[in-house]
Structure 1
Amino acid sequence: MNYDSFSENVKRALESLRQGKMILLFDMEGREEETDFAIPALSVNPSDVRVMRKDGGGLICVSVGPDASEKLGLVFMADMLRDAATVNPALAGIIEKSGDIEYDSRSSFSLWVNHRNTRTGIPDNDRALTISRIGEIVRDVMEGIDVKFGSEFRTPGHVALLRAAEDLLDDRCGQTELSVALTKMAGITPAMAICEMLDDHNGLALSKEDAIRYAEDNGLVFVEGKEILEAYRTWNRMQS
């Protein structure tokens, strides 16, 4: 495929992801306005978790593509809670509804899991095992291999799974969909570990300018959601 029309940042980001490397992903002005670490789940090791934990500080999650989510039976947490509220009405008042989220219509949270071979699930090596094995399970199910998700994972756990919207960026432009859109364009397994970057001084989201400086200082690609959206629309047209 010809990627000449893509921005240099997008091309560099795709190449980094194909090599299993970490990038920095900013969503969009007027949305969360956050920068996330993003790395293919298949490539994650304990040192990657340490970087996300110490230099990111946000929640370490795994974005999973919609097709794989469907095959694995990963449903939205809000939908599970609505079902549970039919038995326990006390849950009804806390389930997200339209207008609850200032920057979006809904969240993408699904299950929270630990791999069954972890102990507490929270140390770097435990989370790395959970994340990398999620990547392997997603790869296998997308290759048509019969996968029993519950045989390897238990819930609740310490790694949040995020289910990407069915139509990805045509539906929602969150970090979940942006990261999965990158996997599709890169031709890699649609499972990405992501983690928000926070500012050590004020506890707020790290500014875009500081995230860009971090990327420059650490040799990482910094890419913006608006670039990804433009490239993804071009890529989609190429598929038809």
Structure 2
Amino acid sequence: MVSNTDSIENYSTNIQKAIKALQRGEMILLFDLEGREAETDFTIAANAVTPEYVRWMRKDAGGLICVALDSEASEELGLPFMADIVREANQCSTALHKIVEKGGDLKYDSRSSFSIWVNHRDTRTGIPDNDRALTINKLGEIVEKTLNGEEIHFGSEFRTPGHVATLRAAKGLVHERMGQTELSIALAKIAGITPAMVVCEMLDDETGRALEKGDAKQYGKDNDLVFVEGEEVVEAYDIWLKSQ
């Protein structure tokens, strides 16, 4: 983990800015890769999310608000991939056979990182900003506890179906998959914060499509948000790995 100024200085100036922003509990903008999804996501630590941040994401980003979770913690908590759940359910419903994810289905990757959708048990409907913020905070908390060696029963705190999508990071992170899930968790590890990160795609209000990178960069400048690209994250993550 990054814990001092000397180690932070190993990274590019832009990554240093992103690290410091995330450590302060602030939002950054994260672009994956041209030719992949080519999307920019609002990105923030799950532990830092407030109802105001949820409102900001749904109004100015407009995409799906998801929580990316560390692979080791996901494994320990027993969180499955949604595609695997559907494959199992297909044993009872032949209708699902036609919709379950297959190799080659995704135009931008080999598989999806979606796990289950949850609400924390202390929420009411789960969808208002304050409910989603609570669920997101508790996901961050349970990941932190799990990685610290505490034995946690996921179902004692969460129920599914719910209104917050969880994403399970690939074990090899950006060396296995270059999604926003893996990029955001790689950033969390570099920054030394709990590897549970909220991501939400930025959409164009006029076209309804992913916001162009140039427009996302301008939004970042206008709102004093650090903008980082996937390739920068991979470079920084490789430096981080060598220091471990």
Which band: TM-score by shorter chain?
A: over 0.9
Q: RMSD of the TM alignment (CA)? A: 0.9
2:65 maps to: 60
2:136 maps to: 131
Among 107, 111, 116, the residue aligned to 1:106: 111
1:155 maps to: 160
SS in 2 for 1:139: helix
User: Which whole-Å CA distance do the structure 2 matches of 1:93 and 1:233 have between them?
Assistant: 40
Structure 1 residue 188 corresponds to structure 2 residue 193: yes
Q: Equivalences for 1:5-20 in 2 at 5 Å? A: 5-20=10-25
Structure 1 residue 45 corresponds to structure 2 residue 50: yes
Instruction: String of CA shifts for 1:125-172, please: whole Å, max 9, x gaps.
Output: 110011011111111111111211111110000100000001101100
User: Which whole-Å CA distance do the structure 2 matches of 1:83 and 1:146 have between them?
Assistant: 27
User: Which whole-Å CA distance do the structure 1 matches of 2:134 and 2:8 have between them?
Assistant: 33
Among 210, 219, 225, the residue aligned to 1:214: 219
Instruction: String of CA shifts for 1:184-239, please: whole Å, max 9, x gaps.
Output: 11111110011000011111111111111111111111100010011111211222
2:240 maps to: 235
SS in 2 for 1:95: coil
TM-score scaled by structure 2?
A: 0.96
2:98 maps to: 93
Shift of 1:85: 1.1
User: Which whole-Å CA distance do the structure 2 matches of 1:15 and 1:148 have between them?
Assistant: 33
Instruction: Tell me the amino acid that sits aligned with residue 11 of structure 2.
Output: F
**Identity fraction in percent:** 62
1:205 maps to: 210
Shift of 1:3: 3.3
User: Which whole-Å CA distance do the structure 2 matches of 1:56 and 1:187 have between them?
Assistant: 26
Instruction: String of CA shifts for 1:106-126, please: whole Å, max 9, x gaps.
Output: 110000001111111111011
User: Which whole-Å CA distance do the structure 2 matches of 1:237 and 1:142 have between them?
Assistant: 21
Instruction: String of CA shifts for 1:66-89, please: whole Å, max 9, x gaps.
Output: 001011111100011111112222
Query: Which of structure 1's runs of 4+ aligned residues deviate more than 6 A?
Result: none
TM-score scaled by structure 1?
A: 0.97
User: Which whole-Å CA distance do the structure 1 matches of 2:217 and 2:155 have between them?
Assistant: 39
Instruction: String of CA shifts for 1:24-45, please: whole Å, max 9, x gaps.
Output: 0000111101000000000100
Instruction: Tell me the amino acid that sits aligned with residue 101 of structure 2.
Output: E
Instruction: Tell me the amino acid that sits aligned with residue 105 of structure 1.
Output: S
Q: Which structure 2 segments of 5+ residues have no match?
A: none
